[in-house]
Amino acid sequence: MEDYSDQTIADQREILSVSEVNQTANDFLNEAFPPLWVVGEISNFREYGTSGHWYFSIKDPDSVLNCAMFRLQNINLRFKPKEGDQVILQGKLSIYKKTGRYQMIASKMELAGFGELMRRYEQLKNKLSSEGLFEKKNIDQVPEIINRVAVVTSAHGAAIKDVISTLQRRSPHVEVIVAPTKVQGDGSAKSIQESFEKISKYHKKNNVDVVILCRGGGSIEDLWSFNDEDLCRYLAEYNIPIISGVGHETDFTLTDFVANIRAATPTAAAEIVSEGASKLNEYFQFLNQSLIKEVNQKINQMLDRLTTLKRLLRSPKQRLQEQYLRLDSNLLELNAKIGALLSKKVSAFKVLKEKLSVINPEQILGRGYSITFTSDGKIASDAKLLKKDDVLETRLAKGKVKSKVTD
């Protein structure tokens, strides 16, 4: 009899595939560990250009943790980590099913110390606000038309190039005075204040309409000099209007609040400076177009008037020619009327002549009739009225015959 005990035991085992093992481990990690906050030092940082995903490790003196941060999460960060940065990550532990690699999928990242800096930022902001420091300047103090602007920024950064190119394009008449300064690192806040002091001295001899304080974007550490308390207090009392264009649109520093105007970027600050000139240029264009329109209307009115006067003030020769033409026309019309009247009269005369010819005695005589007259020239029409010896004269068609009454 054969022994199947080993086969039966084998059939009762739960045998998993490699994929199932990795998936089971990943599910366990997801259930066992909620999203974690982890602090460590960035190492082996890699960014894949096509996808935009980040792959890196964070480490402390004793351990290393592999990490990944996908593009949808890292695109909103205001900084890009580099080797050696101390960061705080929030994410979930997982196992990459394909390789069985244990890693952390990060959803948030901030520089270590960011929380402390934000606490200090908010604390100082509330302190200065409660003292009314943010209420000392307003937009109304900035002149509408600016002819000279001073710019406090790094002499070699992108910010000064953006400001100058924008002003040259939009308001080429504006004179730009550059007061170079450090914009980050040790001593940068003091350097910024010293640049403002130089502008103030220059302003006494050469009027400066407004000062732009600007730099490009960066982390909160990079922008920290613009949150310096002494610098903010100095700028709040500054005697020239200030436009602050520090960082990107999402960056806010305390110098933004003590300035007259906060611009989202250095370029936006330059656009504010040129705004008055642009409006003035638009106004001049409007006036120019209105003036051209009004002048054209006046010219057309004068041309119409001139045409009317030309009709009224014709030359004597032209008027005489017109009178001649009118007289000739009247003569032609009169001749036509006279001709028509004569023709009508001739026709009537002919009719009357024909009627008269019918009763003409000569015509009657020509037909064989005769007319007899008494001695007193009367027509003898009744024989009873004649007397004996009356002399009669008979007129024939040709000739006359005298006779005497005998009976």
Q: At what angle do helices 114-130 and 229-236 cross, to 10 degrees?
A: 30
Q: What is the pLDDT of residue 257?
A: 94
Q: Residues 120-141: pLDDT tens digits? A: 888 899 999 999 988 888 878 8
Q: What is the pLDDT of residue 179?
A: 94
Q: Residues 244-286: pLDDT tens digits? A: 999 887 788 999 999 999 998 999 999 999 886 656 566 567 6
Q: What is the pLDDT of residue 254?
A: 93
Distance between CA 243 and CA 305 in Å, rounded? Answer: 57
User: What is the SS3 assignment for 321-374?
Assistant: HHHHHHHHHHHHHHHHHHHHHHHHHHHHHHHHHHHHHHHCHHHHHHCCCCEEEC
List Cα–Cα distances, 193 to 77, 190, 213, in angstroms.
30, 5, 11
pLDDT confidence bin for 403, thresholds 50/70/90: confident
pTM above 0.85, yes or no: no
In the chain, DSSP finds a helix count (H) and a strand count (E) of 11, 13
Distance between CA 89 and CA 236 in Å, rounded? Answer: 38
Please name each of the domains of the chain with its CATH number.
11-112 (2.40.50.140), 120-279 (3.40.50.2300), 362-404 (no CATH)
Between these two residues, 240 and 32, which has the higher pLDDT value? 240
Q: At what angle do helices 266-312 and 158-170 cross, to 10 degrees?
A: 10
Burial 218-244 (b: 16+ CB within 10 A, else e): bbbebbbbbbbeebbebbbebebbbbb
Q: Residues 296-330: pLDDT tens digits? A: 888 888 888 877 777 766 666 777 777 778 887 88
Dihedral sign, CA of 385, 386, 391, 397? positive
pLDDT confidence bin for 55, thresholds 50/70/90: very high
Most confident listed range (182-186, 348-352, 383-387): 182-186
pLDDT confidence bin for 360, thresholds 50/70/90: low
Task: Please check whether residue 112 is in contact with residue 215, taking contact to mean a CB–CB distance below 8 angstroms.
Answer: no
Q: Is the pLDDT of residue 361 over 80?
A: no
Distance between CA 354 and CA 357 in Å, rounded? Answer: 5
pLDDT, averaged across the chain: 84
Q: What is the pLDDT of residue 281?
A: 62
Q: Residues 155-173: pLDDT tens digits? A: 988 999 999 999 999 888 8
